[in-house]
Amino acid sequence: MTDAHDISEEEEFWLMRLIRRQPKSAPLQLRIPSEIQAALLERGFIQLKRRQVELTLDGILAIGRRRPHGEERG
C-alpha cells in the first residue's frame, strides 16, 4: 500500500473531488488531468469501470490518513 503522505496536493484535490461528487449514482463528469489519473490508477486509489472513474477503498483511506477528519483545504 502506498503511504498517504506521498500524495501530492493535486492528487489529494482530485481524490477529494471524487469523494464529494453528488449524486453518487450519476456518471462522473470530472476531467481529471491524464498524468494525475495515471498516478492515481497506478497507486490503486481509483479504478476504471465501464469507462467511469471510481474511487477505491485505498483512495478513501489515503485521504483519511492524510488529514484529520473535517479539516478543510486552505
Kindly provide the residue ranges of all beta strands, DSSP E only, lying in the chain, ordered along the sequence: 46-49, 52-55
Q: Between 3.30.360.10, 1.10.10.10, 3.40.50.620, 3.40.630.30, what CATH number should domain 4-66 receive?
A: 1.10.10.10
| Domain limits, the chain | 4-66
Position 59 scores a pLDDT of 94
- Residues contacting residue 11 through CB under 8 Å, at least 6 positions apart: 36, 39, 40, 45
Query: Which pLDDT tens digit goes with each residue over 1-33?
Result: 445 457 889 999 999 998 887 566 666 567 899
Alpha carbon distance 20, 52 (integer Å): 16
pLDDT digits (tens, 9 = 90+) for 59-68: 999 988 876 5
